[in-house]
Amino acid sequence: MAVNYPEKVNGLILIDSVCFDSWPIPEFEPLLEPGVEEKTTVDEFVDTLQDFMPKGVYDKSIMTDELKKVYLEQWSNEQGKAALFANMRRLNKEYTQAIVGELKSLPHETLILWGEEDNFQKPKYAPMLAQAIPNSSLIWVEKAGHWCLDEQAEKILLLMSNFLKGKTF
C-alpha cells in the first residue's frame, strides 16, 4: 500500500516483515503445493499450525496453549483455513520482489523492528530492508523470535509509541 498509494500512508512500522524473497519459509512450502488445501482438514491444519507456532519464539514458555488459541481461533474453521491459505499464496515472493526497486522512493518515516532470534523471517533480511527504505530505522528486539510482540510486548509498545508521537493519523 505504501508503494502504490504513498499519499494514504503517514508512516510505517514493520515487524519481522515478509520482504524480498523471504517467503515462503521452508516449513510452509509443503502447504503451498497444489491440492494440499483441499486435502487438509481443518483439524489437520490447526494441528500443523499448533506444532509450528512454538518454533517462532525465543522463549518457548511464551507460547502457551492460551496464546496459541488466540492466534489459531480465527483459522479453526473452513472459512479461516481458506483465508490463511489465500494469504499464504498472496505472500508470493514474485510480489515482494516486484516492489524492491520502488522501496527507495518511499517518503515515509519507517520503523523496522526485528526479533534477533526470528526463525521464520530470517534476521539477514532486516538490514537489507533498512537499506532499501530511506528514512528507516532498524531496531533489533533482543531475546525474541518471530512473535516478538508477545515476547517483548512492553519494549515494542514503547518503541512504537515513541515512533508515533507527533504523527497525525
Q: What is the pLDDT of residue 167?
A: 56
pLDDT digits (tens, 9 = 90+) for 4-33: 999 999 999 999 999 999 989 888 889 999
Given a contact cutoff of 8 angstroms between Cβ atoms, the answer to whether 103 and 4 are in contact is no
Q: Report cis status (omega within 30 of 0) of the bond before 24.
A: yes
Q: What is the pLDDT of residue 100?
A: 94
Q: What is the mean predicted confidence (pLDDT) over 118-141?
A: 97
pLDDT at 134 over 80: yes
Same domain, 49 and 131: no
Q: What is the pLDDT of residue 89?
A: 85
pLDDT digits (tens, 9 = 90+) for 135-154: 999 999 999 999 999 999 99
Q: Hey, what amino acid is at 157?
A: L
Same domain, 10 and 76: no
Given a contact cutoff of 8 angstroms between Cβ atoms, the answer to whether 135 and 107 are in contact is yes
pLDDT at 168 over 50: no
| All three cell numbers of 114 | 526485528
Same domain, 16 and 40: no
Same domain, 15 and 34: no
Q: Which of 90, 119, 138 is the last residue of a domain?
A: 90
- Which domain covers residue 136, as residue numbers? 1-23+93-169
Number of structural domains the chain divides into: 2
Q: What is the pLDDT of residue 93?
A: 86
| All three cell numbers of 58 | 525465543
Q: What is the pLDDT of residue 46?
A: 95
Same domain, 7 and 44: no
pLDDT digits (tens, 9 = 90+) for 39-88: 999 999 999 999 999 999 999 999 999 999 999 999 999 999 999 999 88
Q: In whole numbers, what is the pLDDT of the chain averaged over residues?
A: 93
Q: What is the pLDDT of residue 145?
A: 97
Band the pLDDT of 169: cuts 50, 70, 90.
Answer: very low
Question: What pTM value is reported for the model?
Answer: 0.90
User: Rounded CA gap, 112 and 159, in Å?
Assistant: 10
